[in-house]
Amino acid sequence: MPEQTKYVLTENDIPSAWYNIQADLPAPLPPVLNPGTGQPIGPDDLAPLFPMGLIMQEVSTERYIDIPGEVIDIYKLWRPTPLHRARRLEKALDTPARIYYNYEGHSPSGSHKSNTSVPQAFYNKQEGVKRLTTETGAGQWGSALAMACNFFDLECKVFMVRVSYNQKPYRKAMMQVFGADVTPSPSEETESGRAILGQDPDTNGSLGIAISEAVELAAKDPDSRYALGSVLNHVLMHQTVIGQEVIEKFRLADDWPDVVVGCTGGGSNFAGLAFPFIGRKLRGEDKDKAPRMIAVEPSACPSLTRGKLAYDFGDTAHLTPLVKMHTLGSTFIPPGIHAGGLRYHGMGPLVSHLLDLGEIEATSVHQTEIFDAAVNFARAEGIIPAPEPTHALAVTIREALQCKEEGVSRAILCNLCGHGHFDMQAYLDYFDGKLYDYEYPAEEIAMRWQGCPRSKRRANGHIPSTVGTVLSCGWVGVGRLTDGIRRACGMIARDGRSSHRTRLGYTSSIRGGVE
């Protein structure tokens, strides 16, 4: 009888709810802080940037959040995704390991990012938003949001990190097909972009810079909101459809993973695969068979393995709240590696928290090793992966070869979160010997850490601004939010009342004090 290589669910098996790991954490997530006062922020404070439906998901501690029917209807275009047994790769490696990969490249945008772009567009449309602004690195997130905005008749403005904008022109074309307006970042269109260009006209840009531009634009326009493709709690939660499906597919395979591997930039891909497994362990459901969880990042941007767990800004121009995460410093600009989706200075707070709790491991890999793994994988399995998931493939191969050395058979699972069809320049550079490995100097990382705001707390408890000028609608670079700036950003109505009258019940993660 032929050996099975693919495990597929039906549309009826698409999860009906997202899984929220905050419900099962042994210790609550540290609160998000107002950088002017050092005090926890509440849902109303986020209203200039996000719709209330997503804000409530961000702060929720409910274990499951129902997926709207309109979202599931669009999910059916590509979900459920297939789980593959990589038997040809196993044979090529001559390993007793059982290698599995879940493939998210079937989505219309070519990656897992559509799992969150669709609900984000849906909730914004529900609340009357006209336009979404965002950043994108390699273009997967920008493509996914452009598609979702098209489905819900929203305008879409994308700031694409300049180095990726130049490396991946077809991603720009894909976004334009769906009607998005795409600008290389940093740009002359925003005050934060002009400030960066004034310091370094030839900068490659970074996700932190692109976030600054997108946030600034959204804050200035009452009809616009901001959408983020990773890092935030609700974004990671939307991705848990992946892991929930994978658990059911492993039951079809009559197997269970011993090791789970995912690439990490802001954490959404890793969280989507790993969180449902971690949740089972935290609830005591898998005491004897809980998998090892390995988060893999680029050696050129090592926030988990070499970063500091600290409160920091989520962007370069300091227009966001302060979140506790593993960070290389908000002014950190990584080298122009081809894995543009992983070039972020920080890590999602939930992933950072789980590493701090000892629930996951972290490692880093160099660019040449990941492309070695990508080519070996493609030649065995026939799929050309995007540069981002090749980080997970590299560690998957490491683990498989370790099984060979030890003479043991373990089940190793990784998430192949996107195809590399628009990343051919990266492969050309690999075959031409133009790729290089970069190990960020410790002194450079230490210098960037000096910008972390909690290291500059004043005696009165306030955190001074690290921005020299106040952007007209920036809501954190001011040291303290004034009512005038809050009005300009729509946070307080002209008559002085809150622009959002519904008082929301805060969860412990929002209400909790500072460490």
What single DSSP character describes residue 342?
Answer: G
| C-beta separation of 262 from 227 below 8 A | no
Structure token digits, residue 51: 């719709």
Token pair 């005491």: residue: 287
Angstrom distance (rounded) from CA 383 to CA 74: 25
Angstrom distance (rounded) from CA 153 to CA 155: 7
Structure token digits, residue 151: 């489905």
Query: Can you give the pLDDT at residue 478?
Result: 29
Structure token digits, residue 242: 């992946």
Element (DSSP H or E) covering residue 176: helix 169-177
Angle, vertex CA 514, rays to CA 513 and CA 515, nearest 5: 120
Structure token digits, residue 171: 């991603």
Polymer length of the chain: 515
Who's near 12: CB < 8 A, 6+ residues apart?
none
The DSSP line for 484-509 is: HHHHHTTSB-TTSSBS-----PPPHH
Who's near 54: CB < 8 A, 6+ residues apart?
119, 120, 123, 124, 234
Helices vs strands, H then E, count in the chain? 20, 15
In this structure, whether the domain defined by 74-110+234-443 belongs to CATH 3.30.70.660 is answered with: no
- Dihedral angle of Cα 322, 325, 326, 331, to the nearest 10 degrees: -20
Q: 184: buried, middle or exposed (CB in 10 Å: 19+, 13-18, 0-12)?
A: middle
Query: Can you give the pLDDT at residue 320?
Result: 84
Q: Where in the chain is the domain with CATH 3.40.50.1100?
A: 74-110+234-443, 112-230
DSSP-based three-state secondary structure for 33: strand
CB atoms within 10 A of CB 395: 26
112 closest CA partner among 139, 144, 135: 144
What single DSSP character describes residue 4?
Answer: P
Query: Can you give the pLDDT at residue 319?
Result: 80
74 closest CA partner among 120, 6, 23: 120
| C-beta separation of 132 from 210 below 8 A | no
> For 155, phi and psi rounded to 5 degrees?
-75, 155
| C-beta separation of 329 from 345 below 8 A | yes
Query: Can you give the pLDDT at residue 314?
Result: 82
* CA 260 centroid distance within chain: 18
Query: Can you give the pLDDT at residue 245?
Result: 99
Alpha helix (H) residue ranges in 283-386: 303-306, 349-356, 367-381
The pLDDT averaged over each successive group of 10 residues in the chain (515 residues) is 92 98 97 90 90 96 98 98 99 99 96 98 98 93 98 98 90 97 97 94 89 93 96 97 99 98 95 98 90 94 91 84 90 62 80 97 95 98 96 98 98 97 92 86 66 49 32 31 33 34 27 26
DSSP-based three-state secondary structure for 322: strand
Query: Can you give the pLDDT at residue 62?
Result: 98
Q: Roughly what angle, to the nearest 10 degrees, separates helices 207-220 and 191-199?
A: 150
The DSSP line for 218-250 is: HHH-TTEEE--SSSSHHHHHHTTHHHHHHHHHH
Query: Can you give the pLDDT at residue 496?
Result: 37
Token pair 């680029």: residue: 298
The CATH code of the domain at 112-230 is 3.40.50.1100
pTM of the model: 0.87
